[in-house]
Chains A and B, each alone.
Chain A
Amino acid sequence: NAGVTQTPKFRILKIGQSMTLQCTQDMNHNYMYWYRQDPGMGLKLIYYSVGAGITDKGEVPNGYNVSRSTTEDFPLRLELAAPSQTSVYFCASIPGQGAWGNTIYFGEGSWLTVV
């Protein structure tokens, strides 16, 4: 099992550009999340999904979009990148309903700089 795989690991974007962070998990987990981590701050939830076709906003969704067409994939789209989106992004997953309080699995992180 590869677990949770994120790509790219590093990316530099110019202001106004768009890009997609890819996230794939091979554990058949229902629940998936995108978090961002800013220096000195706790991770903040951007978007989450409880199953294919179902997504919802987290704490800091502005400037982002997501989709969940399959159980495995949960891409995060940045539209019109801004310097405030410079951060480290983590995708995570847990098995989901019927197994609350499960261990959470994180991807290795994606370092994004907007200049």
Chain B
Amino acid sequence: KNEVEQSPQNLTAQEGEFITINCSYSVGISALHWLQQHPGGGIVSLFMLSSGKKKHGRLIATINIQEKHSSLHITASHPRDSAVYICAVSDIQGAQKLVFGQGTRLTINP
């Protein structure tokens, strides 16, 4: 069993739909990261969470430390949101090494 599990692995939706991507982890963490990877490969950080909820534009990320679960929500989805979304957790040791989920491939159709 992977230490970080994402669901779904693939998601196709229509423009305007509300999107939810889930991430569960089984290890102790110091922080959880949501990352975005567009075709062509570059990876950018969307959120870093250690508790609660964060919002940036149409993106919302939540984390429940007790349940070891996080969700990434996209409101009013747009074709430009099409990308791979990756959940990663920082270990609790000093080096903050990341353990990654396999990613969720999101396609938003116009």
On A, residues with C-beta under 8 Å from B are 31, 33, 35, 40-45, 48, 50, 56, 58, 88, 90, 92, 94, 96-97, 100-106, 108-109, 111
Please classify the interface of chain B as helix (H, G, I), strand (E, B), loop, or mixed, using the class held by over half of its residues: strand
The reply to whether A100 and B30 form a contact with Cβ atoms under 8 Å apart is yes
Q: Which residues of A contact B30 (CB under 8 A)?
A: 100-101
Taking a contact as CB atoms closer than 8 A, the residue among A43, A101, A105, A106 that contacts B90 in the complex is A101
Query: 18 additional contacts, CB 8 Å, given A45-B98, A101-B31?
Result: A41-B102, A42-B86, A42-B99, A44-B100, A50-B95, A88-B41, A96-B96, A100-B30, A100-B90, A101-B50, A102-B96, A104-B35, A104-B48, A106-B35, A106-B43, A108-B41, A108-B42, A111-B41
Interface size class of B (residues with CB under 8 A): 20 to 34
Given contacts A94-B96, A100-B96, A104-B33, contact A42 B101 (CB under 8 A): yes
The 9 nearest A-B residue pairs measured at CB = A101-B31, A42-B100, A106-B43, A109-B41, A43-B100, A103-B45, A42-B102, A108-B42, A100-B30
Residue from the set B90, B96, B99 with the largest chain A CB neighbour count within 10 Å: B96
Q: Which residue of A lies closest to B44 (CB)?
A: A106
A-B contact pairs, 5 of them (CB 8 A): A100-B96, A105-B45, A106-B35, A109-B42, A109-B43
The reply to whether A100 and B31 form a contact with Cβ atoms under 8 Å apart is yes
A41 to B10, CA, bound (A): 14
Query: Is B75 on the interface with A (CB-CB < 8 A)?
Result: no
Residue from the set B2, B30, B95, B97 with the largest chain A CB neighbour count within 10 Å: B95
